[in-house]
Amino acid sequence: MSATLTADSPARFGVDSADAGGRVIATVRWAAPDGTVRTGEMAVAPGLRAGTRTTAWLDRSGSLLRNPVTPEDAVAQSIAVGVVTASSTGLLVLGLNKVGVLLLNRHRYAQWEKDWAETDSRGQHRQP
């Protein structure tokens, strides 16, 4: 979508006015898909003059996206989500394994206790 700067974009002097990638925040005007004229702030190249046309990224409702995701950011986010998901799944499986072993050991110990009690009651387990 095409947008027009409503004022000169600031020159990049300080860290406060700079956005990621050497861009600055400026006010732009654009026509939404429903035909209404809207204004908002977005990242643009520094030093542009009022009236300069630039590309604006809109969401499904026609609202301005201040900083659209770059392909590199999308890949990095996908990798991060994959690593967190894989780690969480591994920890869940490990935890379920530990709980299963604990429950099986409890059952086995109870069975051993029962067998020892039966052996003792028959008098087969006596100390000399």
* 119: containing domain: 70-128
pLDDT per residue as tens digits for the range 6-43: 888 877 665 544 445 678 888 899 888 788 888 888 88
Provide the residue type at 105 as one letter: N
Q: Do 25 and 59 belong to one domain? A: yes
Q: Do 63 and 17 belong to one domain? A: yes
What does DSSP say about strands 37-44 and 2-5: parallel, antiparallel, or unpaired? Answer: unpaired
pLDDT per residue as tens digits for the range 70-124: 889 999 999 999 999 999 999 999 999 999 999 999 999 999 999 888 887 776 6
Q: What is the pLDDT of residue 8?
A: 85
Whether the CB-CB separation of 6 and 29 falls below 8 Å is answered with yes
In the chain, how many domains are there?
2
Q: What is the pLDDT of residue 121?
A: 77
Q: Do 13 and 63 belong to one domain? A: yes
Q: Do 28 and 77 belong to one domain? A: no
Provide the residue type at 112 as one letter: W
Q: Do 61 and 48 belong to one domain? A: yes
Q: Locate tokens 């860290």: which residue?
A: 15
